[in-house]
Amino acid sequence: MVRLLLACALALGLAGGAHALTAEQARAIAAGDSTEARIAALNQAVQTADARTAAFVDALANDAVKLAGGQVLVVEGERAHDPVTGAAAALPADAEDVINNNLMRAALEAAQAALQLGSAEEPVRLAAARALLSEPDASRLPLIEAALASEKSPAVRAQLELVRAATWLASDDKSQRLAAAEALGAQRSPDVKLLLNQRLADEPDAEVKAALQRAIAHIDASLAWGERLGVLFTGLSLGSILLLAALGLAITYGLMGVINMAHGELIMIGAYATYVVQGVFQRHLPESAFGWYLVAAVPVAFLASALVGAVLERGVIRFLYGRPLETLLATFGISLILQQLVRTIFGAQNVGLENPPWMSGGWQLLPNLTLPWNRIVIVLFAAAVVAGVAWAVARTRLGLFVRGVTQNRPIAACMGVNTARVDTYAFALGSGIAGLAGCALSQVGNVGPDLGQSYIVDSFMVVVLGGVGQLAGTVYAALGLGVLNKLLEGWTGAVLAKIAVLVFIIVFIQKRPQGIFALKGREA
Amino acid sequence: MSYPSVSLPRRAPLLSRAGWAAFFTALLAVCALAPALNLWVPEGSPFHLSGYMVTLLGKIMCYAICALAIDLIWGYTGILSLGHGLFFALGGYMMGMYLMRQIGREGSYQSELPDFMVFLDWKQLPWHWALSDSFVATLILIVAVPGLVAFVFGYFAFRSRIQGVYFSIITQALTFAAMLLFFRNETGFGGNNGFTDFKRILGLPLATPQMRMALFVLTGVALLGFFLLARWLVNAKFGRVLQAIRDAERRTMFCGYDPLPYKLTIWVISAMMCGVAGALYVPQVGIINPSEMSTGASIEMAVWAAVGGRATLIGPIVGAFLVNGAKSWLTVAAPEYWLFFLGGLFIVVTLFMPQGVVGLVGRVLKRNRPPAHVQQAPAATKSEASDSTNEANAALQGARA
């Protein structure tokens, strides 16, 4: 409040005439002849604002102002009062609403922001300064100067200087416009670029025009980096999602040679397991623990999918080794059954999953580049899963057995490896990784019975492109496809990009059926 | 040095006497009995064939053509395609374009252009609609477009010797890509909604019992015709080479056969059959949209063939009728169990009935027959000349059954 008073005092001092909101002003703002006249009156009133002006502007923005025979009334529920004196007044039955069009609303919002510059809270002042940047108006210059004089926080100061420069852009003084162009060119925000472009369109002076163009070029150069990094990151994020979805398949299909069309449904089971864990946390545990549900869901999703996978291997797939086309059909049948099972238990609608609080928001890297935390977490999670799988295959006893059985089943059996059991474990491992993928996907997409179907074609493409039997190939193929897809998307739109990628893979496989990274020698 | 005399197996007749009898019975049933029961028997009578049943049977016969097409490429050549939904839909869309133009100015916007184009604010027909007002051109396009797509795709795929599951997955990707493309409004095929609200064909109204019957008869004749064509193909030398490629592709190549033209020919024929099935399907069902190209739709076609019995020609037809009959009954009686049933069917058929219903029936019949009868079967004498595996013999026997 002290700040508001200070700001008002300064503003009053600069404006010369010292008076608070008058009845004429209130009438001019609420019922002026035209929107332009109303905005002019509003900006006039804001220059000499006091607490009553602020309340009146708020009321106008909230549609709580009525007109009754030339008198302006602020309505509060059943009662009404005069905005100038604050005295209670009767609300006549024939009072008319004050209608604000979009132009007027924008002006009201800017006026509210200008008045909030005096707030004691730093985030409020910062937000107010940001809001003012999109609606610069010369009439607010004294207010901004006053706020600048008293402002201590460097972030708000920088923002206010930006607003001042933006306001100067419209000034009649050429040197001021030049200085403003210079100052704004040092900024890197897309808002400023928009502002400069708007000014460039109306600018009559050639010298200022050149300065504006220089400033825009300067901003473009720094924005381009943000955009490039942004595309790269979204590509990386999509790639890590593809990688998670395909990694389990790289084991069951790539290493074991099982065409598992139910792989997508194993992902779906992981996602639903996450949903169940969320429900348990919401119902049975205190609210403070809710943020941890995702951590608890990771092992649950893995085990749920691994268990289903093991049952499938024991019950069906085991009988179909060496008959890939039959395996394809049988596992497709399984996928239909699993989908319908989920539909029967959880309903056909998508279920709602909330991000834990620590995953919402983002990390502002550049003015035009914010990386959402949930995407960052998934990229890191994918990296961890890949590392875990690589470790399991290369270093553990089970991994050794899996590689042995893959390379030469009879010899492995002669060495005393129980090949049937290794098959089951390996399939369960691949399925469990699909469950992990589901747990991660539940944080960025919809969770419904059809979840798996949208990933099955992509997963197979990744594995086939990377080269069957190659974990490293799967990683490169997934990340490559993700980035390629996002690059094309900026160019052609999402659907065409997806089609282009599919066609690219089809053509690629014609040329190189063994994938990017083929096994050398006789294995290939 | 003297060579043992080699005699080629005698060419099997197109159909056995019993086969011809059954064929003509079927033809009679489709062309005479069904129209009589539908159009002349009064509605209250227990022998009346309802309009609903006519449409349903017509639809299933279209599916049976697809199953037959899948069987030629999968059962006889060993190539599992998960992309026949694409060819079916292409044929359907060609027909649909013609039917959309036949609506004329009776659409809800009273424009020369189909409604969805008016809705998108298009001023003229896009280039690929140029031939859609001619029925003759449409008939050609129905086979030419799926045939051309299959030829281009198949040429490159078979030339790089893509086999087995790889091929299945690429056909699936192709169909998926096409579905995404057809979902877009800009492609000019009506987007999500596809084509519907057809009014007439060749200037005649579509929604009459007579037209429904005519389409039914046409579909039945097409199905029986394709059956004879398939029979002729697999009995000829061409069909035997196909089966040799299926059972031992390398060995066939060492014998001097290049598999590419054989595979490509049967692949294109199979695609064209699906296109015709799609074109017959659209006027009967009254709608075509991109969901016909979904992954599931193509795999279901493979299941019809598998349920009936692969590498037999009657099998896929039986399978299409059994599965779709069960579908239309179950989706009404117990909709939540239909997917359980279908999924279970996939598993049971692959695990326990590799030769399908026809194989099962054949085995039961054989067990009941006296053993002397089996030795008289022509298969026993003819298989001496071939060095193919047991599986191939079984397939050949199945083909003659």
Which value does ipTM take for this structure? 0.79
pLDDT of residue B389: 42
User: What is the helix (H) or strand (E) element at residue B259, kind and residue range?
Assistant: helix B259-285
| Structural domains of chain A in order of their starting residue, each with its CATH number | 2-199 (no CATH), 226-518 (1.10.3470)
Residue A110 or residue A521, greater confidence? A110
pLDDT at A519 over 80: no
**Block residue for tokens 């014609």:** A510
pLDDT of A66 strictly over 60: yes
Chain A contact set for B74 (CB, 8 A)? 325
Among A350, A351, A356, residue whose Cα is nearest residue A285: A356
Q: How many CB atoms lie within 10 A of CB B381?
A: 12
Please state whether A372 falls in left (phi above 0), alpha (psi between -120 and 50) or beta: beta
Residues B140 and B153: their CA atoms lie apart, in Å, by 20
> If pLDDT is split at 50, 70 and 90, which confidence band does B2 have?
low
Give the residue from B300, B293, B291, B295 showing the smallest Cα distance to B343.
Answer: B300
Residue B246 has pLDDT above 60, yes or no: yes
Query: Between residues A461 and A189, which one has the greater pLDDT?
Result: A461
Of B99, B60, B94, B57, nearest in space to B271 by CA: B94
B-contacting residues of A 90-109, CB under 8 Å?
A: none
Cα B168 vs. chain centroid, distance in angstroms?
17
Which of A10 and A212 is assigned the larger pLDDT? A212
Question: Using an 8 Å Cβ cutoff, are B76 and B234 in contact?
Answer: yes
Return the minimum-mean-pLDDT range out of A268-277, A372-381, A492-501, B346-355.
A492-501
Cα distance between residue B325 and residue A519, in whole Å? 47
Q: Could you give the C-alpha distances from B151 to A144, B156, B264, in angstroms and in order?
A: 72, 9, 7
Contact A146, A173 (CB under 8 A): no
Provide φ and ψ at A366, rounded to 5°: -135, 165
φ, ψ dihedrals at B200, nearest 5°: -155, 165
The alpha-carbon gap from A502 to the nearest alpha carbon of chain B, in Å, equals 6
Ranges A26-40, A223-237, A269-283, most confident: A269-283
Q: Where are the beta strands (DSSP E) in B279-398?
A: 287-288
Q: What percent of chain A has pLDDT over 90?
A: 15
Model pLDDT, residue B4 = 65
The highest-confidence range among A42-51, A113-122, A279-288, B53-62, by mean pLDDT, is B53-62
What pLDDT, in 10s, does the model give residues A504-518?
887 887 777 676 665
Mutation site, B307, B339, B340, interface A, largest A CB count within 10 A? B339
CB-CB contact of A177 with A143 (8 Å):
no
DSSP E strands: which ranges in A327-451?
Answer: 362-366, 369-372
Percent of chain A with pLDDT over 70: 90
The shortest C-alpha distance from A375 to chain B (Å) reads: 26
Asked if residue A3 has pLDDT above 60, the reply is: no
Helices (H), B38-197: 51-70, 84-102, 115-119, 135-159, 164-183
**Per-range mean pLDDT, top range of B195-199, B322-326, B349-353:** B322-326
Query: For position A453, what pLDDT does the model report?
Result: 82
Q: Distance between CA A139 and CA A15 in Å, rounded? A: 10
Beta bridge partners of B218: none
Cα angle: B309, vertex B315, B320; to 5 degrees: 105
CB burial string A280-298: b at 16+ within 10 A, e below: ebeeeeeeeeeeebbebbb
Q: What residues of B are in contact with residue A459 (Cβ under 8 Å)? A: none
Q: Is the pLDDT reported for residue B383 higher than 60?
A: no
Averaged pLDDT, B247-273? 93
Instruction: Kindly determine whether residue B165 and residue A325, on different chains, have CB atoms separated by under 8 Å.
Output: yes
Cross-chain residue pair B349–A336, CB shorter than 8 Å? no
**A237, HSE (Cβ side, Cα atoms, 13 Å):** 20
The residues with which B205 forms a beta bridge, in sequence order, are B200
At residue A128, the pLDDT reads 76
Instruction: Give A27→chain B minimum CA distance, Å.
Output: 47
Alpha-carbon span B313 to B16, nearest angstrom: 14
Q: Is the pLDDT higher at A337 or at A501?
A: A337
pLDDT, position B392: 43
- CB-CB under 8 Å, A499 with B306: no
- A89 touches A82 (CB < 8 A): yes
A–B: how many Cβ contacts below 8 A? 115
Residue A340 and residue B340: Cβ atoms within 8 Å?
yes
Q: Find the CB nearest B173 among A323, A326, A461.
A: A461
Count of other CB atoms within 10 angstroms of residue B198: 22
E strand residue ranges, B175-311? 195-196, 200-201, 204-205, 287-288
Span A456-462, average pLDDT: 84
The pLDDT assigned to B391 comes to: 44
Residue ranges of chain B whose CB lies within 8 Å of a chain A CB: 74, 80, 156-157, 159-162, 164-166, 168-170, 172-174, 176-177, 180-181, 183-184, 295-296, 299, 302-303, 306, 336, 339-340, 342-347, 349-351, 354
Q: Looking at the predicted structure, is the pLDDT value of residue A53 above 60? A: yes
For residues A17 and A71, the model is more confident at A71
Instruction: Provide, rounded to the nearest whole percent, the portion of chain B with pLDDT above 70.
Output: 90
- Of the candidates B30, B70, B60, B69, the one whose C-alpha atom is nearest the C-alpha of residue B321 is B60
The winner for highest mean pLDDT among A311-325, A476-490, B24-38, B135-149 is: B135-149
Phi, psi for A262 (deg, rounded to 5): -90, 10
Taking CB atoms and an 8 Å limit, are A460 and B299 in contact across chains? no
DSSP code of A72? Answer: E
Collapsing DSSP to helix, strand or coil, A371 comes out as strand
What is the predicted pLDDT for the residue at A523?
A: 44
pLDDT tens profile B103-116? 888 777 777 788 88
Predicted confidence (pLDDT) per residue in A290-311, tens digit: 888 888 999 999 999 999 999 9
Give the residue, B90 or A103, on which the prediction is more confident: B90
Q: What is the mean pLDDT of chain A?
A: 80
Q: Above 80 in pLDDT, residue B270?
A: yes
- End-to-end CA distance of chain A: give it in Å, rounded: 77
B15-45 confidence digits (pLDDT tens): 888 889 999 999 998 888 888 888 888 877 8
Cα B27 to Cα B219: distance, rounded to the nearest angstrom = 11
How is B302-315 classified by DSSP, letter by letter?
HHHHHHH-TT-SHH
* Residue that has been written with the tokens 């300065």 in this structure: A211
Among all residues of chain B, which has the CA nearest to that of A343? B336
8 Å CB contact of A464 and B169: yes
User: Residue A13 pLDDT > 70, yes or no?
Assistant: no
Phi first, then psi, for residue B327 (nearest 5°) are -65, -50
Smallest Cα distance from A330 to chain B, Å: 5
CB < 8 Å to B164, chain A? 324-325
Closest-CA residue in chain A for B80? A325
Name the DSSP class of A246. H
C-alpha dist (Å) from residue A272 to A353, A515, B343:
10, 33, 21
- On the question of pLDDT at B301 being above 70, the answer is yes
Q: Give the nearest chain A residue to B304 (CA atoms).
A: A329
Q: How far apart are CA A64 and CA A58, in angstroms?
A: 9
Report the alpha-carbon distance of residue A365 to residue A379 in Å, rounded.
16
Among A363-377, B52-66, B130-144, B344-358, whose mean pLDDT is lowest?
A: A363-377
Flag whether pLDDT at A240 surpasses 70.
yes
State residue B399's pLDDT score: 41
Would you say B188 and B132 are in contact if contact means Cβ atoms under 8 Å apart? no
What phi, psi does A84 have (nearest 5°)? -85, -50
Between residues B381 and B350, the one the model is more confident about: B350
Task: Read off the pLDDT of each residue in B56-80 and give the average, rounded to a whole number.
Answer: 94
Mean pLDDT of A354-377: 78
Q: Which residues of B2-41 are buried (b: 16+ CB within 10 A; e: fewer)?
A: eeeeeeeeeebeebeeeeeeebeeeeeebbeebbebbeee
Query: What are the chain B neighbours of A506 within 8 Å (beta carbons)?
Result: 170, 173-174, 177
Which residues are registered as beta bridge partners of A89?
A80
Distance, CA of B223 to CA of B204 (rounded, Å): 24
Query: Chain A contacts of B295, Cβ < 8 Å?
Result: 453, 456-457
Burial class (CB in 10 A: 0-12, 13-18, 19+), B152: exposed
Judged on CB neighbours under 10 Å (0-12, 13-18, 19+), B384 is exposed
The pLDDT value recorded for residue A518 is 57
The answer to whether the beta carbons of residues B307 and B63 sit under 8 Å apart is no
Length, in residues, of chain A:
524
Contact (Cβ atoms closer than 8 angstroms) between residue A437 and residue A306: no
Q: What is the pLDDT of residues B323-348, one digit of tens each?
A: 999 999 998 888 888 889 989 988 98
Among B156, B169, B306, the residue with its CB nearest the CB of A329 is B306
Most confident range (mean pLDDT) of A71-75, A205-209, B175-179 is B175-179
Rounded mean pLDDT of chain B?
Answer: 85
pLDDT at site B377 = 40
SS3 A493: coil
**Of B318, B313, B316, residue with least CA distance to B398:** B313
Residues of A in Cβ contact (< 8 Å) with B302:
329
Q: Under the phi-then-psi rule, with left for phi > 0, alpha for psi from -120 to 50, and beta for the rest, what region is A467?
A: left
d(CA B365, CA B353): 16
Written as six digits, the tokens of B100 are: 């959309």
Q: In degrees to the nearest 10, what's the CA dihedral of A421, A427, A430, A434?
A: -130
List the structure tokens of B31.
């062309």
pLDDT band of residue A522 (cuts 50, 70, 90) is very low
Per-residue pLDDT band at B226 (split at 50, 70, 90): very high
Confidence of residue B382 (pLDDT cuts 50, 70, 90): very low
Of all residues in chain A, the one with the smallest CA distance to B75 is: A325
